[in-house]
Chain A
Amino acid sequence: MAVIVWLASALPLMAKTAEDQLGREIQIPDDPQRVVALAPSITEIIFALGQQERLKGTTQFSNYPAGAAKLPKVGSYVRLDLERIVALHPDLCIAIKDGNPKETIERLQSLNIPVFAVNPRNLETMMQTIQRVGDILNASVKAKTLVQAMRGRIQRVDALVASIEQRPRVFIQIGISPIISAGTNTFIHELIVRAGGINVAAGQKAYPHFSREQVLALAPDVLIITSMSRSGAFKKAEADWRRLIDTPAGLGKRIYTVDSDVFDRPSPRLLDALETLTRLLHPELFEDGS
């Protein structure tokens, strides 16, 4: 009898089997009520899906949208605080493969907390991620609408860029000391190419390091620094570059600082990044006021 009561109380909680984006079969609640998002991008996705009521905890730099900042924090996404996660009594954690330490994810599972891992690697898989998260949070329709809107925006950029004649050489700096850029297998590379540019840091290494001299040798036409609003160091980096490169090809006028949160996080805001980048690389496409 006791067993039946126990089963009855346990079953509705763990009713779904889902396959996450790492191909693992996991048991998740039918209707998750206490979700902890283990990266800022996942927090943004959950808010974009309108499911923030379910969200009970996020990570340290989850600062967007405004509502996310008020939620309890469980450490940073590379350095999660297990105790804070467990104390929130989550019925589902959503993790990201590129960033969350594997050991922490395994320990959460050994503590009987289901972890659904997502693995967005480019714009296409990022939209799949949004759909999958929508599915497990019972917001499939909302996710579908969101993804369709995103596809529409990508197509508009593709159509604009199709008419360009010249692709500028672009260097995006995502770290100051050392100088770090993004190789071929990254979101940033995809954004540059889609926005009609050439990524001069393209290559096997995902996040290659450069010296100043190497950057100058690459002779980029446009230099973009992704800056965290919380650090003044990036403004200084921009000023340093201006001093260094004021001669070749008028580069001095094409050094920009953009918000790294928008460019780094695999969330719906990557579309904002794509549109911003297209404007920076091809201002001529927007001159007629469109």
Chain B
Amino acid sequence: MNLNSEHHISRLAWLSLILLGVLLIAISLGLSIGPTQSGLRSALATLFSPGESDPVLYRIVWGIRLPRVLLATIVGATLSLGGLVFQALLRNPLAEPFILGVSGGSAIGAIIGILLGLSRFPGICFTSFLGSLGTLALILIMSTGKSILRKDALLLSGVMVNAFCSAIIMFLVSITQDARLHNIIFWLMGDLSASDLPQVAILGAILIPCFVIVFVFSHAMNLLMMGKDMALSMGINIRAVTLVLLIVTSFMVSATVSFSGLVGFVGLVIPHLLRLVLGPDHRILVPASLFGGAAYLVLCDLLARTLPQQGEMPAGVITALIGAPLFIILLKRSRK
């Protein structure tokens, strides 16, 4: 047992280092590529010794690219972790905040907050959280009972909740006839461009404690994945663990939605790839999903910024372009 846990810790440390390295590379690329060509070296020089650098480049790197890259880091980590937790709790490899409609519920809450003229934090975060809890409750009610373990029931109820959320969002958007409309539509598609450093710091301060809570429960998630009897025999309070994790995850997801809109499929793509490579141990998957999801979204956002000739597209467009086909492949495979 002792040997086993030592082996576990060193494996955890190695993997974390490797994934952290990937994340740092992604962040460096994100900081150094943009419409103004600066090159990797001068962008990084600006980051580490701001005093000696060109003031224009300083403003671009510190004022514009850094907040955006950090936001992508936090949002990507959260969504990826959110996918991992939903997949474990619902024992369904296709569960993901966006697919289940939890993101859609947050978006309804956030739009209502925007229309009421609330501030981003805490106002919109709170209405967004209420929206996500509402859809979560709806999904759980619809998919419990005899059908709890059936994949299709859960996915179908998610699809329906999502369709319902989209209808409400369209309703809200079409009764608003002011200048905010354009921004809401862009934000709905997952927009990482709107935050500055203090806002990203607030989001980080909200989310990092949540990451810790999820990590603490990672062993419990392993036992849950092995089945209810196993979990019970190991002294796990299934109901309490499930409830805490679902609420924490919904909170994390709704916080990211209120800052960056609907970025879909990150929680599907990353946990899947990692489970294929690393196996099913959540004590490793939790930190790996954090780093992996962060690096993935930073790179997707980089594509979203650089692919269009003029302006930029929302990052959610890229994540969906990659994620949706993958979802279909996974669904087909899991049917076999």
Interface residues of A (CB under 8 A from B): 60, 73, 75-76, 78-79, 81-84, 86-87, 89, 98-99, 101, 103, 107, 110-112, 205-209
A-B contacts besides A60-B310, A81-B35, A89-B56, 12 pairs, CB < 8 Å: A78-B182, A83-B34, A83-B35, A87-B36, A87-B56, A87-B60, A107-B196, A111-B63, A112-B59, A205-B177, A206-B177, A207-B178
Chain B residue with minimal CB distance to A111?
B63
CA of A206 to CA of B311 in the docked complex: distance in angstroms?
A: 28
Least Cβ–Cβ distance between B194 and chain A, in angstroms:
6
CA of A207 to CA of B175 in the docked complex: distance in angstroms?
A: 11
Please tell me if the beta carbons of B310 and A73 are within 8 angstroms of each other in the complex.
Answer: yes
Q: Which of B169-195 contact A (CB under 8 A)?
A: 174, 177-179, 182-183, 186, 193-194
> Cβ of B64 < 8 Å from any Cβ of A?
yes
Least Cβ–Cβ distance between B57 and chain A, in angstroms:
9
Please tell me if the beta carbons of A82 and B183 are within 8 angstroms of each other in the complex.
Answer: no
Please tell me if the beta carbons of B65 and A98 are within 8 angstroms of each other in the complex.
Answer: no
Quick one: given A81-B311, A110-B196, A111-B63, are A207 and B177 in contact (CB under 8 Å)? yes
Please tell me if the beta carbons of A208 and B35 are within 8 angstroms of each other in the complex.
Answer: no
Please tell me if the beta carbons of B59 and A206 are within 8 angstroms of each other in the complex.
Answer: no
CA of A112 to CA of B56 in the docked complex: distance in angstroms?
A: 11
* Majority DSSP secondary structure for residues of B touching A: loop
Q: Which residues of B contact A209 (CB under 8 A)?
A: 174, 177
- Number of B residues contacting the other chain (C-beta, 8 Å)? 22
Least Cβ–Cβ distance between B32 and chain A, in angstroms:
12
B36, B182, B183, B186: the one contacting A83 at CB < 8 Å is B36
Q: Which residues of B contact A107 (CB under 8 A)?
A: 63, 196
Q: Which residues of A contact B281 (CB under 8 A)?
A: none
CA of A207 to CA of B310 in the docked complex: distance in angstroms?
A: 28
Q: Which residues of B contact A79 (CB under 8 A)?
A: 182, 186, 311
**CB-based closest 6 A-B pairs:** A87-B36, A111-B63, A78-B182, A86-B59, A83-B64, A82-B64
Q: Which residues of B contact A98 (CB under 8 A)?
A: 179
Please tell me if the beta carbons of A84 and B35 are within 8 angstroms of each other in the complex.
Answer: yes
CA of A111 to CA of B186 in the docked complex: distance in angstroms?
A: 23
| Contact digits for B261-296, partner A, Cβ 8 Å, 1 yes 0 no | 000000000000000000000000000000000000
Q: Which residues of A contact B182 (CB under 8 A)?
A: 78-79
Q: Which residues of A contact B174 (CB under 8 A)?
A: 209
Quick one: given A73-B310, A82-B193, A110-B196, are A87 and B177 in contact (CB under 8 Å)? no
Least Cβ–Cβ distance between B214 and chain A, in angstroms:
31
CA of A84 to CA of B178 in the docked complex: distance in angstroms?
A: 27
CA of A87 to CA of B56 in the docked complex: distance in angstroms?
A: 6
Least Cβ–Cβ distance between B49 and chain A, in angstroms:
19
Chain A residue with minimal CB distance to B175?
A209
Quick one: given A81-B312, A82-B193, A86-B60, are A206 and B178 in contact (CB under 8 Å)? yes
Least Cβ–Cβ distance between B317 and chain A, in angstroms:
14
Chain B residue with minimal CB distance to A205?
B177
CA of A207 to CA of B182 in the docked complex: distance in angstroms?
A: 14
B64, B65, B178, B194: the one contacting A103 at CB < 8 Å is B194
Least Cβ–Cβ distance between A204 and chain B, in angstroms:
11
Least Cβ–Cβ distance between B181 and chain A, in angstroms:
10
Least Cβ–Cβ distance between B203 and chain A, in angstroms:
15
| Contact digits for B96-107, partner A, Cβ 8 Å, 1 yes 0 no | 000000000000
Q: Which residues of A contact B65 (CB under 8 A)?
A: 83
Q: Which of B8-48 contact A (CB under 8 A)?
A: 34-36
CA of A79 to CA of B312 in the docked complex: distance in angstroms?
A: 9
Question: Could you write out 25 A-B pairs with CB less than 8 Å apart?
Answer: A60-B311, A75-B310, A76-B311, A81-B35, A81-B311, A82-B193, A83-B34, A83-B35, A83-B36, A83-B60, A83-B64, A83-B65, A86-B60, A86-B64, A87-B35, A87-B36, A98-B179, A107-B196, A111-B63, A111-B64, A205-B177, A206-B177, A207-B177, A208-B177, A209-B177
Q: Which residues of B contact A206 (CB under 8 A)?
A: 177-178
Please tell me if the beta carbons of B179 and A99 are within 8 angstroms of each other in the complex.
Answer: yes
CA of A98 to CA of B180 in the docked complex: distance in angstroms?
A: 10
Q: Which residues of B contact A111 (CB under 8 A)?
A: 59, 63-64
Least Cβ–Cβ distance between A107 and chain B, in angstroms:
6
CA of A206 to CA of B180 in the docked complex: distance in angstroms?
A: 13
Q: Which residues of A contact B186 (CB under 8 A)?
A: 79
Q: Which residues of B contact A82 (CB under 8 A)?
A: 63-64, 193
Please tell me if the beta carbons of B177 and A84 are within 8 angstroms of each other in the complex.
Answer: no
CA of A60 to CA of B179 in the docked complex: distance in angstroms?
A: 18
